[in-house]
Chain A
Amino acid sequence: MKFHVSVVVAIGTGLLTLVAYFVPLAPLQAMRAALLQIGAILATVALLLGAGNLLSVHARKIRDGKPGHLYSIFLVISMLSVFIMVTVFGPQSPYSVWIVTQVQQPLEVALTGLLSGVLLIAGVRVMFRRPHWSTYLFFLAAVIVLLGTAPLPFVAIPFLQGFRNWLAQVPAVGGGRGLLLGIALGATATGLRVLLGLDQPYQR
């Protein structure tokens, strides 16, 4: 019985939200707004549970002395101290803002820098790992776009800028739109499967 109730609630809520998107009736819009608000509250509660999950995973890692448990100790201390600081002083306090601007943002910038290096190495390595004409085309396109974008000292390759622009604006945009059309159809079909009750991620 519980199974059927969850299916009815999921399909009913989904259909009501979808119908309210297409039909601009005031009561429907109000119900849609209320349902979305309930969803947002539930998502926030789930986030708190998720934080507890993260803490449990790393507490177990420390307890069992698994590889990388030193990072876990650091994570647990950081997590608890930030939680206490933001709870005591509030999210807008200078201490909380300092943590974001002086710790979190520099770390994210460092990771983004690391990402550039990883991509460069992976781009070269893929030619040896997957020798195929499409891989060579991928690599050639990347090199042309890089050469056409970066300022080159002492040399000027004629037509490179124009060719780079054509490459980025015609084949890349055309291919990207093709991909997006397929993705949009796939995403719609996935949503419809849930709405039709044919797929139940909440009780598989």
Chain B
Amino acid sequence: MAAIEGVLALVVGLLLAGLILFFTFLRRGQWPTFRRLPALEALSADIGRSVESGTRLHLSLGNGSMYGPEASATLVGLAALSQIAKAGSVSDKPPLATSADGAVTLLSQDVYRVAFRHQRAEDRYDPLLGRIAGLGPLGYAAGTMHTAPDEDVTATFILGPQGREVALVAEAGSRRGDVVGGTLDPVAQAVLYATADHPLIGEELFATGAYLKVNRAHAASVQAQDVMRWVVIGAAVALAVLGTVGIL
């Protein structure tokens, strides 16, 4: 059974990789049209508003590491940070990124450095824009709760792995402005549904890079996921029918 599962995982992985490559290099000049996602529209609007009014944004990269299964959500947060940092690097108050892991913090500082260089504003680069707010899930939540009031933040983006303690981060952020939030854990997503102004549900978190136009591969991976979702639905229905008629 384990061997079958392994082969199945390999097939799904290869199929998904093939689809991502196909959509990445297909009609490279055109950006695909996606359905409306109010949370990601709000995120883009908040970035624009912050640049215009010179106010500060806070991106919470969560309490995960680059080492576990939650790294995918951290990667989404870092991709979003690259766009947010580019937009905010010329602002009086550049955006802040908090995390709970050393490697994630180093990566966020690298993203900032590249964004500032891209905007020819290297002299304004400050490594402490990417910072650790606290260690461990509750330590991180406790440290991040102070970021919004202490740093004069007007919008909080929660894009990274967090548990139900995300409520404390979202609640502190909502006292100062808009909160857009998405995470991996379904329980934490329910918590964000109640506490964030614009929650990202399910796999919507993984569409962030495509909606912020990070690069063509992000859009391609959303297209590939759409195709694979129908394959998975078809397989689930087929297996249920085969099970019902007694073939499986």
**Residues of A participating in the B interface, judged by any CB pair closer than 8 Å:** 22, 39-40, 42-43, 45-51, 53-54, 56-57, 60-61, 66-68, 71, 107-108, 111-112, 114-115, 118-119, 122-123, 126, 129-130, 138, 176, 178-183, 185-196, 198-199, 201-204
Contact of B150 (CB < 8 Å), options: A22, A66, A179, A196: A66
A-contacting residues, B45-86, CB 8 Å: 65-67, 69, 71-73, 75-76, 78-79, 82
Q: Is B141 touching A111 in the complex (CB atoms < 8 A)?
A: yes
Minimum distance in angstroms from A25 CB to a CB of chain B: 14
* Contact (Cβ within 8 A) B105 A190: no
Please state if B101 and A185 are interface contacts (CB–CB under 8 Å): no
What's the least CB distance linking A2 to chain B, in Å? 13
Stretch at the interface among B27-35, B106-114, B239-247: B106-114
| CB-based closest 5 A-B pairs | A186-B206, A50-B102, A46-B102, A182-B203, A198-B217
Q: How many residues of B sit at the interface, in one of the four size bands?
A: 35 or more
- Which residues 186-232 in B have Cβ within 8 Å of A in the complex? 186, 189-191, 193-195, 197, 201-203, 205-206, 209, 214-215, 217-218, 220-221, 224-225, 228-229, 232
List of B residues within 8 angstroms of A51 by Cβ: 102, 132, 135
Q: Give, as a whole number of angstroms, the nearest-CB distance from A91 to chain B.
A: 15
Let me know if A189 and B102 touch, CB within 8 A. no
B128 to A53, Cβ gap below 8 A?
yes
User: Which chain A positions have C-beta within 8 A of B194?
Assistant: 119, 122-123, 126, 138
Tell me the complex Cα distance, A188–B9, Å.
10
CB distance from A52 to the nearest CB of B (A): 9
Does B40 sit at the interface, judged by CB under 8 A?
Answer: no
List of B residues within 8 angstroms of A202 by Cβ: 107, 110
A187 and B72 contact, Cβ closer than 8 Å, known pairs A40-B67, A108-B138, A199-B215:
yes
Check if A180 sits within 8 Å of B186, measured CB to CB.
yes
Q: Is the CB of A204 within 8 A of B206?
A: no
Expressed in whole angstroms, the minimum distance between the Cβ of A104 and any Cβ of chain B is 9
Cβ contact within 8 Å between B102 and A185: no
CB of B184 closer than 8 Å to a CB of A: yes
Let me know if A183 and B217 touch, CB within 8 A. Answer: no
Please, which residues of chain A bring their CB within 8 A of the CB of B120?
Answer: none
Say yes or no: A67 contacts B168, CB within 8 Å.
no
